[in-house]
Every structure is written in C-alpha cells, then in structure tokens.
Amino acid sequence: MRLITTLTAAALTIGLATFAAPALSSAFTKAEDAVEYRQGAFKLIRENFGYMSGMVRGEIDFDADQFKQRSKALVHLSNIPFDAFTGAGENATNNSDALPAIWQNWSDFESKRDAFQSAAVELAEAAESGNIRDIRPKFMATARTCQQCHEGYRAD
C-alpha cells in the first residue's frame, strides 16, 4: 500500500513536471516571431486605448457602451504581449524596441506589467458606471502605467 502511494506520488510528480515544462519555456521558437507577436499585441492595445483616449479628451463623443467594450478588450489584451518576452524573444534586438534592461530587472518589469494589468481592470470596472467622471481618473492612471514601463524598458 505504501509502495503504491509512493508510486502514485512519483507518477503525479512526473505528470506535473510534464505539464509545467511548456509554461516555463516560450510558445515561440523564433525570436522574430516573438517580437512580431508582442508588437502586434501592443498595436491592438494602442488601437483600443487611443479610442478611449479620444472619448476621455472629448475628441470623440462619449458612448458608454463603446467605452465598456473597449475597456474590456484592453483587459484581455493586457495579458497578451508579456508571453512573448521570455524564451525565443528574450533579448531580441532585431526590429525590437525592447531594451536589455527588461531582462536585467525582470522582477521590476513584472511589477510594471502587473500595475498595468490591475489599472486596466479598474478602468473596466469604472466603465461599468457609464460615467465619464468616474472613468477619467482611472483612464489617466492606466496611461501612467504605460508610460512608467516605456520610460525604462522601451527605446524611443
């Protein structure tokens, strides 16, 4: 019985290790693919963010439903680019504006990513109110998180 338990535990450990492996390595095998992927994701982020910015600044008429939709898209998109900074895309400089400082200060980069992702969630929550007065400060806070990461980690 004890042997069986041990074997089961061992099998479980091996099983888990098998599952853990892909999470540790990157989904990309070529650096240029990783770079293109993260840049593509950031372009979609800009697309949605720019639209919301237009409404916050009053350049586009405020439409609560549109804003809600864009802010939800931002929440999803905020998770996408960061999968492509490890593995094949790591330290890639070809066609990339990502600075080596990212990998030298990885935990700080991660905390800037987390700050952005939480700000995006708070923005989407504020968007539920449909009230531009509640939305504006959350939008500005999110914009600051973009800037705070780009300052140290993206080439101009």
Residues that bind ligand HEC (CB under 6 A): 35, 38-39, 42-43, 45-46, 49, 96-98, 109, 112-113, 116, 142, 145-146, 149-150, 153-154
Q: How far is Cα 64 from Cα 76, in angstroms, rounded to an integer?
A: 19
| Nearer residue to ligand HEC within complex by CB, 13 or 111 | 111
Q: How far is Cα 77 from Cα 79, in angstroms, rounded to an integer?
A: 5
Q: In the block, which residue shows the tokens 């980069």? A: 109
The least distance separating ligand HEC from the CB of residue 9, rounded to whole angstroms, comes to: 39
Q: Compute the CA torsion angle 115, 118, 123, 128 (nearest 10 deg).
A: -170
Q: How far is Cα 32 from Cα 19, in angstroms, rounded to an integer?
A: 26
| Nearer residue to ligand HEC within complex by CB, 63 or 97 | 97
Q: Residues within the annotated binding site for heme c? A: 146, 149-150
| Nearer residue to ligand HEC within complex by CB, 20 or 155 | 155
The least distance separating ligand HEC from the CB of residue 116, rounded to whole angstroms, comes to: 3
